[in-house]
Amino acid sequence: MAFGIFLHRSDSIYDDRLAERYQFPRQYLSRAKACVGGWIIYLEPTKVHATRGYFAAAKVQDIVPDSTRPDMYSALIEPNTYIEFSDLVPFKGQDGLVELGLLNDAGKISGRAQSAVRPLSAVDFNRIIDRGLNADSTLLPRIGDIPSSTDFREHQAPYDSGATRDRTMLLMSRITRDRAFRQVVLRAYDSRCAMTGLRLINGGGRAEAEAAHIRPVSENGPDCVSNGLALSGTVHWMFDRGLLGIADDLRILISRQVNNAETVAMMINETGHLLHTQRKGDRPQPQYLRWHRENCFKG
């Protein structure tokens, strides 16, 4: 199985939807094709302000010509494989370069580091995944979400710096994905409920807010922060049942089927809109909000 790195800037000029497709010019075609059927890791360049470093992984399903621009191609991402890291991995950490394959014979960073699409060794892939999906976190799951002891042991295997343990199994584990999704969503909203604005943390450092998918995983909703909301338990319940919705301008909608709309309205923050995420790129995407309104919200 081949692994690769896809560079992506938060201010990219390319038509990227990272959970669905990655656009690139012809010069990277052969390298991108080598990744078909394999996993890639997204990296934000160090020159980007407040860079996230290595921040997500996904599996490449196919490479197709871009229908909108000549000499451009798109790497299509296999549905339900995109996963954002619970811990952002810096390009160069305290113990040095993370992607060791970029070092030349003199031990310096080679020109390959400038390539937007490049191969990645299995050893480097494993190292980045292990750091990006660290199971330890202060944003612990609520008691009812803690996996059974058997499931928990499955992800406590000793660290292996080589290519012997298959991290791709970890990437597709629902336990791993739920944990990572919760962490990235709560981080985006500073552990506040996006609708009420409340930020409740218990004595053990556990946030009361839950991570809600806008378009559910069961309906091919991706595990990306732009398809997520931090919501308190009651609000999450109402959102999942279509009693609350969200307009494209992030205005919070209350269903006519709510039996006490005035009380519900009092729960909503005074702006009547979702709280903004800390990063603009983490805000809910219109296509997910539209899906929820058309398939779930009981207007």
Q: List, run by run, the mean pLDDT of 10-residue segments along the chain (299 residues).
A: 92 90 96 97 91 96 92 95 95 89 89 93 95 66 39 38 67 93 95 92 76 95 95 95 97 94 93 93 95 95
As a whole number of angstroms, the distance between CA 292 and CA 296 comes to: 5
Domain count, the chain: 2
CATH code, domain carrying 165: 3.10.590.10
Q: Count the alpha carbons within 13 Å of 48 in the hemisphere toward its beta carbon.
A: 16
Which residues make Cβ contacts (< 8 Å) with residue 155, sequence separation at least 6?
Answer: 135, 170, 173, 175, 176
Instruction: Please write down the long-range contacts of 173-181, taking CB distance under 8 Å and 24 or more positions apart.
Output: 175/147, 175/151, 176/83, 176/133, 177/83, 177/223, 178/141, 178/145, 179/86, 179/135, 179/137, 179/141, 180/83, 180/84, 180/85, 180/86, 180/133, 180/223, 181/83, 181/84, 181/211, 181/213, 181/223, 181/228
Whether 119 and 11 share a structural domain: yes
- DSSP label at 37? T
172 falls within a domain: yes
Q: Does 125 lie in the same domain as 56?
A: yes
**Which pLDDT score, from 0 to 100, does residue 205 have?**
65
CA distance 60 to 66: 16
Beta pairing partners, 83: 57, 223
Tokens 């996006």 locate to 194
- Whether 35 and 160 map to the same domain: the answer is yes
> Tell me, what's the pLDDT at 202?
72
Q: What is the pLDDT of residue 201?
A: 75
Domain that residue 149 falls in? 3-179
The reply to whether 74 and 195 lie within a common domain is: no
Residue 62 inside a domain? The answer is yes
Q: Are 239 and 231 in contact (CB under 8 A)?
A: yes
Assess whether 227 and 137 both reside in one domain. no
Residue with tokens 């597709």: 172
Both structure tokens of 130: 């292990």
Residues 11 and 158 occupy one common structural domain: yes
Check whether residue 282 and residue 145 sit in a common domain. Answer: no
pTM summary value: 0.85
Q: How far apart are the first and last CA of the chain?
A: 47
Residue 142's pLDDT is: 40
Instruction: Check: CB of residue 25 under 8 Å from CB of residue 16.
Output: no
Q: What is the pLDDT of residue 203?
A: 64
Specify whether 128 is located in the same domain as 32. Answer: yes
Which of 179, 201, 236 terminates a domain? The answer is 179
